[in-house]
Structure 1
Amino acid sequence: MLTPRFEITQTDTEVAITVHAPYANIKDTEVYVDGTDFRFFSNPYYLRLQLPGEIEENNSSSGSYDCEKGDFTLRFSKVNKGEHFENLDMITVLLAPPKKKSTVIPNIKVIGNPSANSANIDDSLNDNDTTNNDSEDNWFIPQNNPSENVIVLIGSPKYGFANKISGALTAFEAAWIKDIIDLPTPDTTPEAERKSLQEKRELEDFNEEHYMADLMEPECTESYIAYTAEWDTLQKDKVTFSEAEIDLLKELSNKEYLLDDEDIKKLCLNLVDILYASCYNHRTTLGENTVESSWTINKLSSTLCWFQNFTSMDEVITSCFRRSLCYPLYRNWELSMKVFEDVKKVLALGKKYIIKVFCEIHSLFNNSYEPRYILNQLYIKDFLIWLQASPESLIEPLHSMLNNIHPSKASMELDLVELEVAAYSIQEEGLVIENAVHEMIGQIDELCLNDAEKEKPKNIYHVNKQFFKCLLLSNTSSTNSSDTDSETDSESSTTSSSTTTSSSSSLDSDDLSEPE
């Protein structure tokens, strides 16, 4: 059966549930309400919701159907008048079946052999969740929500959401996933070596000429820095999900995660890392995704590219800046700083907007030419589920933490300060020489004008002027050249001297001639 798209609104006294079911069999439609439990059935649609507060059907309740839109609009009264229902737009959470009173048992499959065949791994990732079926109530049937069990290989490095997965990539050939993961052999490389390997790789990949070129040609990035992104003007209370986002969220299975404080801290740091990569893509494409967008987000995120687990916010931001200066097309410090401010604004818009960002990432990865759908399975889908069930208070401190972070070029350990000093020194030296040449040419012009007042032939002064200009430019060029052997310098000097003597003789000869 199909899970229809739906929307819930509320007032102080009632709740309105709009169900989009354009192909429904209206005469067979059934609706049931009991406390927090809402159920809708109209072949081929089935919807079951667990509301955050109790509702009831009474004389003020009503229902209608819009034939043109294919929408059922159902209104029910709140049991507790004035109660505010939280998270009515968190689709996946609302689709969850009621929690049982029994103790939650972690859904973990332990595989002792690291070389377990791919069939076992794929099966464990896609087993249907039948634990939520209520045998006493046929209303509680699965709503196309497959369970994704956690895989644990004894003794193998862990990665994925909350660092709970291992061995999930053993079934794939390294050559097939190398385009999406920089971490070599993720199922055998120890977690403790990831950071050192990543930093070593970044130092090798950092291109000084590329960085200096973007530094000295700021016009290449001015339009991206000046771009007004959606989050620059959007108000938090105006954030809404699109139909495509709702369709994605309603197909996700609801899961409960066994996370301690340390796990939650790491997830929040991973969250900021992924948001930075997404904000960089959004700004450098001016809000219009390209075929390279999935690559950009994947490559700039240490979480997605190196399965990195961070220990502090400083470490996250340093990693984000380093990768933004090593890999994308535009490698500019001011641009990286602007993206840093973007991340703060996204966090300020709250978890609903963050979920929208992750929905976009999910779509980009699913439609990528490379097999980036793997990253959806390892990270993005679980982030979407976890964020919906998380309180808003989890996101708020992250904005404050970022306000206390002040990235510096020296902390990047890429010699950015030295490179910029060298670049500006060369630029300044070039400007000084250019100004000196212009000044000397100006003096020659003034000299020629003064001599012209003495009524000497104009063609002779023109020759003198051109000669001195050439001489000055020639001397300037020879001054800027370096590391030339002495023999070459001697020959150049002799040639220049003879040329000067010849030219002087020619000019002297012209000076002695009578004007025509």
Structure 2
Amino acid sequence: MLTPRFELDQDDDFVYIKVHIANIRFSAAAIEMVVNDNVFVFSLPPYYLRLRFPKSLVENEDAHSEFVPKEECIKIRVPKLNKGEFFPDLDLSAKLLARMNEPSIDDKQKKVSMIEEMDVSNDNIESVKNIEQEGQDFDWEISQQLPPIMTDLQKSVKYGFNNEFSDYLTPSLSNGNDINELSDPDHLQPDDRIMERLIKENIKFDMEYYANDYINMKYLVDTEMGDDGIQNAIKFISPFTKIFNESKSKNNVEIEFTQQEKDQMNDLPRKTFLIDDPRPLYYTILCILFAYSYERRSFNGDLNTESAWTIGKLTPQISCVDSQLIQSNNETEKNVIKIIVLTMARRALGFPLYRHYDLIIKSWLDVYWILRCGKRGVLKALLEVRELFRKHDVYYVYCKILFDNLCSWVLRDGCNDNVLRNLSHALKKEVENLSKKDIVFEKIIRDETVETDEGTEKDETFEFLNLEDIEELADEAYQQSL
């Protein structure tokens, strides 16, 4: 359970409690508030708050609570038992969080000084009774701690749209956010996020899984043993390809929005965005569109209840809140479009149902056609992705930190058609130059226990493998099995 941030105030008649519950979706029925003499308890998973006041409270018809959306908090008013009574130390939050009969520091020091040696050789029936009584009297109340004050190195980092958000993801982790891949997303620095992402990609890639899909498509798809799922996915034609090819004007593609999409646009934030460098936003759009295209193509144009998870996992700006993509000390590679193509290829070979190189290429070509449809095409695709996340009880947090503002930015002319057209051509060039040798994973080839002078140690041999190497091994294994 998480202890929420809270603020206290009072007047002659009431104590006012302001509980901050940012970044979670909840229903009023999930909230529990209890007043018992001087103890106030607030519960709203994953938050739990118990305050022990110096004076008594009372729960009656004057008690009141309300949710204030703009402040993302619940304001609570609790009557004092004795009106006009002053409650001291309301500014000492740690004191109010103490458990019942929790000893002070002085009490703890006194207990330490009273420890004495006892003859353990004698059975002491009385001491056993005391232990039993201690067990019965044990204080089972949850221990609470306010979030620690962070040093400069520990302070929350920024992420999401234009790096404007922080402290949003930890509450969602308590609710089961399995899209997130970072150990501590609210405090990892950008370079550390990249490093952790790369490590996870290497671990997640399964050579046997990829080899199985490769052999199925090359040797088995037209046999009784084959599965035509990947074949059908590769044959799928994106609706955006059709829209562009059927459009009368290639520079002003006609895109029609449904009434549902128009309603979604009306719900987007209405604000002006001050963007110093829009390039990371375009990079984010590229990654989201690839994940979206890969998922749609995998299921012949259909999306399902797991699509939000797959799209979120594939997109580094979502699963790893990594909008930087290249470590700041990397001086060897500055072609971000190439990095994006390789990154998304690596992730597409680790997470989705189908993991095939040709499916990656086809999905990137789908992105090309979406970009050629201009910002209206991009907006149409982003709205569909946003709706997947918006409807989810946990993943909706990514609407808060990314999709809401990103869709609004595209809608309100932040996204430029000329830039999208240039981006599409740059993307297509990188995809055409991509080869299987470029997609590399670092894998443990041998993991053995060896004897040394100092005892036994694990001998791990790492090797860099590209897709071409893996396919050659798969071909050899298949031929040997015949």
- TM-score in terms of structure 1 length: 0.53
Higher deviation after alignment, 407-416 or 272-281:
407-416
Which runs of 5 or more residues in structure 1 are unaligned?
A: 1-113, 129-152, 432-516
Q: Counterparts of 1:189 and 1:125 in 2: how far apart (Å)?
A: 28
Counterpart in 2 of 1:392?
A: 417
**Structure 1 pair 381/270, CA: closer, same or farther in 2 (3 Å)?**
same
Cα offsets for 1:198-257 (capped at 9, x unmatched): 111111111111100000001331111011220221135331111000001112222111
Higher deviation after alignment, 194-203 or 310-319: 310-319
- Aligned partners of 2:157 and 2:186 also within 8 Å: yes
Q: Are 2:302 and 1:288 equivalent residues in the alignment?
A: yes
- Is 1:401 the counterpart of 2:426? The answer is yes
Shift of 1:412: 2.0
Are 1:361 and 2:385 counterparts? yes
Which deviates more, 230-239 or 267-276?
Answer: 230-239
Do 2:169 and 2:397's aligned partners in 1 also have CA atoms closer than 8 Å?
no
Hey, what's the Cα distance between the residues in 2 that align with 1:275 and 1:362? 12
Partner of residue 272 from structure 2, selected from 228, 233, 256: 256
> Which residue of the other structure, out of 425, 438, 441, is the alignment partner of 2:476?
425
Q: Which residue of 2 aligns with 1:336?
A: 360
Q: 1:185 to 1:177 in 2, by over 3 A?
A: farther
The more displaced of 213-222 and 269-278 is 213-222
- After TM superposition, give the deviation of residue 393 of structure 1 in Å: 2.1
Taking the TM superposition and a 5 Å limit, the aligned residue runs for 1:444-463 are none
Letter in 2 for 1:422: L
Task: State the Cα distance separating 1:409 from its structure 2 match.
Answer: 2.2
Query: What does residue range 197-236 of structure 1 map to in structure 2 within 5 Å?
Result: 197-218=196-217, 219=221, 220=228, 221-235=230-244, 236=247
| One of 284, 307, 312 as aligned partner of 1:270 | 284
Name the structure 1 match of 2:447. Answer: none
Contact (CA 8 Å) 1:279, 1:342: kept in 2 or not? Answer: yes
1:327 paired residue number: 351
Report Cα offsets for 1:324-361 as digits up to 9, x if no partner.
10111101111111111111111111110111111111
Q: Aligned partners of 2:70, 2:360: CA distance in 1, in Å?
A: 39
CA apart distance, 1:173? 5.6
Using CA pairs under 8 Å that are at least 6 residues apart, name the structure with larger relative contact order, 1 or 2.
2
Q: Is the 8 A contact 1:174 1:185 kept in 2?
A: no
Aligned residues between the structures: 291
Answer yes or no: is the 8 Å Cα contact 2:374–2:420 preserved in 1. Answer: yes
**Is the contact between residue 160 and residue 402 of structure 2 (CA under 8 Å) also seen in structure 1?**
yes
2:381 counterpart of 1:381: no
Q: Is the 8 A contact 2:233 2:359 kept in 1?
A: yes
TM-superposed deviation, 1:319: 1.1
Q: Which residue of 1 aligns with 2:186?
A: 187
Q: Which residue of 2 aligns with 1:349?
A: 373
Task: Tell me what 1:482 maps to.
Answer: none
SS in 2 for 1:165: coil
Q: Report the 3-state secondary structure (helix = DSSP H, G, I; strand = E; otherwise coil) of the residue aligned with 1:291.
A: coil
1:157 corresponding residue in structure 2 = 157
The whole-number CA distance in structure 2 between the counterparts of 1:125 and 1:163 is: 22
Shift of 1:394: 2.8
Moved more, 266-275 or 284-293: 284-293
CA distance in 2, matches of 1:297, 1:318: 17
Partners in 1 of 2:216 and 2:21 — Cα distance?
54
Corresponding position of 2:437: 410
Structure 2 vs 1, CA of residues 259 and 174 (structure 1 numbering), >3 Å: closer, same or farther?
A: same
Q: Residues 234 and 295 (structure 1 numbering): CA distance in 2 closer, same or farther, change over 3 Å?
A: same
Partner secondary structure for residue 284 of structure 2: helix
The 1-side partners of 2:185 and 2:294 are apart by 26
Pairwise CA distance, 1:289: 1.4
Identical columns (%): 24
1:107-161 deviation digits (Å, cap 9, x = unpaired): xxxxxxx985571746997359xxxxxxxxxxxxxxxxxxxxxxxx983211110
Measured against aligned partners, the alpha-carbon deviations of 1:399-429 in whole angstroms (never above 9, x if no partner) come to 1210221222222212222211111123344
How do 1:36-55 and structure 2 match up within 5 A? Answer: none
Write the letter of the residue equivalent to 1:222: Q
Contact 1:180-1:305 at 8 Å conserved across structures? yes
Q: Aligned AA for 1:254?
A: R
Quote the Cα distance in structure 2 between the aligned partners of 1:290 and 1:173.
22
Residue 233 of structure 1: SS of its match in structure 2?
helix
User: Residues 223 and 169 (structure 1 numbering): CA distance in 2 closer, same or farther, change over 3 Å?
Assistant: closer
The alpha-carbon distance between structure 1 residues 205 and 351, as it changes in their structure 2 partners (threshold 3 A), is same
Amino acid paired to 1:374:
V
- Tell me if the contact between 1:180 and 1:371 (Cα under 8 Å) persists in the aligned partners: no
Change in 2 beyond 3 A, CA 1:120/1:210: closer
Separation (CA, whole Å) in 1 of partners of 2:309 and 2:375: 24
- Is the contact made by 1:161 and 1:382 (CA closer than 8 Å) also made in structure 2? yes
Q: Please tell me the residue identity of whatever aligns with 2:265.
A: L
Amino acid at match of 1:328: P
Distance 1:120 1:227 in 2: 44
Q: Aligned partners of 2:161, 2:380: CA distance in 1, in Å?
A: 18
Cα distance in 2, alignment partners of residues 245 and 173 from structure 1:
27
In structure 1, the partner of 2:167 is 167
CA contact (8 A) 1:276 1:343 kept: yes
Task: Tell me which of 296, 307, 311 is aligned to 2:321.
Answer: 307
**Structure with greater helix share of residues:** 1
Is the contact made by 2:160 and 2:321 (CA closer than 8 Å) also made in structure 1?
yes
Shift of the alpha carbon at 1:301? 0.8
**Which letter maps to 1:399?**
S
Matches of 1:367 and 1:268, distance apart in 2: 25
